[in-house]
Structure 1
Amino acid sequence: MSERTEDIRLGFALRRVAELYAYAADTGDGDLFAEQFVDGGVLESPRGLFEGRAALAAVPALLRARYAETFHAVHNQVVHPARDGAEAVTYCIARHFWHGEASGLLCYEMTIRYLDLFAHETGQWRLSRRRLVVLGTRTFPMETAAPFAQRN
């Protein structure tokens, strides 16, 4: 197999991990979220350091407790093979919806970049360390919203 083909396959596999991470966060699936990490994997975020599968599995529930809904969009990802696995920079927008005191439904939007380290474990690529870097935030009212906005 050519080096170019291997690069494409690696990029596809690592993007799939990033997409499943986002999907698990949005659906509240703690097991799926934790499965994207190796045993002993680490997530560094502004809300704290989450280390190991048990701590990682709790992250989606923390989001669910705080927000009515979340929306994590994976944009581009730049991948580089590394000596012990792979590295990537993953660009995302994360939206977090909640009911404001008197202002109706609000959205807290984060423009973020993940600095990712991956390892190949038991035949699958998984995150060994993910550091969330917040580039900017904004909060704004929602003009229209899906049915989740009706839940209290």
Structure 2
Amino acid sequence: MSGQTEDLLLGVALRRVAERYAYAADLGDGDLFAAQFVDDGVLESPRGLFEGRAALVAVPALLRARYAETFHAVHNQVVHPAGEGAEAVTYCIARHFWHGEAGDLLCYEMTIRYLDLFARETGQWRLSRRRLVVLGTRTFPMEAAAPFAQRD
């Protein structure tokens, strides 16, 4: 395989990890979320440091306890092979919805840059370390287009 083809396949594989991470967070699926990390993987976030799959599995439940719904959108990702692993910078927008005291729907939006380290484990690319860097936030009112919790 040519170097360009290998780079392209690596980029697709790592993007799929980032997309499954976002999907698992929104779905509230702790097992799927933790499966995107190697056994001793680490997530560094403003809410704390989560080390190992036993800690990582709880992250989506923490989001669900705080918000009525979340929406994580993966934008661009820049990937670089690094020894036996890979590094990436992954750009995202994360929206977190909740009902205010007056019953109004509010959104807390984060503009995020993830600094990612990847490793291959059992033949699959997984995150070994993900550092969430918040570039900016804003809170604003929303109008709901569909009821929450309809994920079918």
> What is the TM-score normalised by the length of structure 2?
0.96
Give the drift of 1:103. 5.7
State whether structure 2 residue 37 is matched by structure 1 residue 75: no
Counterparts of 2:61 and 2:103, CA distance in 1: 25
Give the drift of 1:143. 2.7
1:14 corresponding residue in structure 2: 14
Counterparts of 1:68 and 1:145, CA distance in 2: 14
Deviations 1:107-152 (A, max 9, x none): 0000000000000111000000000000000000003332118xxx
Counterparts of 1:31 and 1:103, CA distance in 2: 32
1:36 corresponding residue in structure 2: 36
2:137 corresponding residue in structure 1: 137
Deviations 1:2-25 (A, max 9, x none): 000000000000000000000000
1:65 corresponding residue in structure 2: 65
Contact 1:44–1:132 (8 Å) recurs in 2: yes
Counterparts of 1:126 and 1:74, CA distance in 2: 16
Counterparts of 2:56 and 2:38, CA distance in 1: 11
Which runs of no fewer than 5 residues in structure 2 stay unpaired? Answer: none
Contact 1:23–1:72 (8 Å) recurs in 2: yes
Runs of 4+ with deviation above 6 angstroms = none
State whether structure 2 residue 93 is matched by structure 1 residue 85: no
Counterpart residue identity of residue 65, structure 2 = A
2:98 corresponding residue in structure 1: 98
Counterpart residue identity of residue 86, structure 2 = A
Give the drift of 1:63. 0.3
Counterpart residue identity of residue 134, structure 1 = V
Counterpart residue identity of residue 83, structure 1 = G
Counterpart residue identity of residue 55, structure 2 = A
- Equivalent pairs counted in the alignment come to 149
Counterparts of 2:3 and 2:113, CA distance in 1: 27
Which runs of no fewer than 5 residues in structure 1 stay unpaired? Answer: none
State whether structure 2 residue 115 is matched by structure 1 residue 115: yes
Counterparts of 2:76 and 2:103, CA distance in 1: 34
Matches within 5 A, 1:46-61: 46-61=46-61
Q: What's the RMSD between the two structures over aligned residues?
A: 1.0
Give the drift of 1:84. 3.2
Give aligned-pair identity as a percent: 89
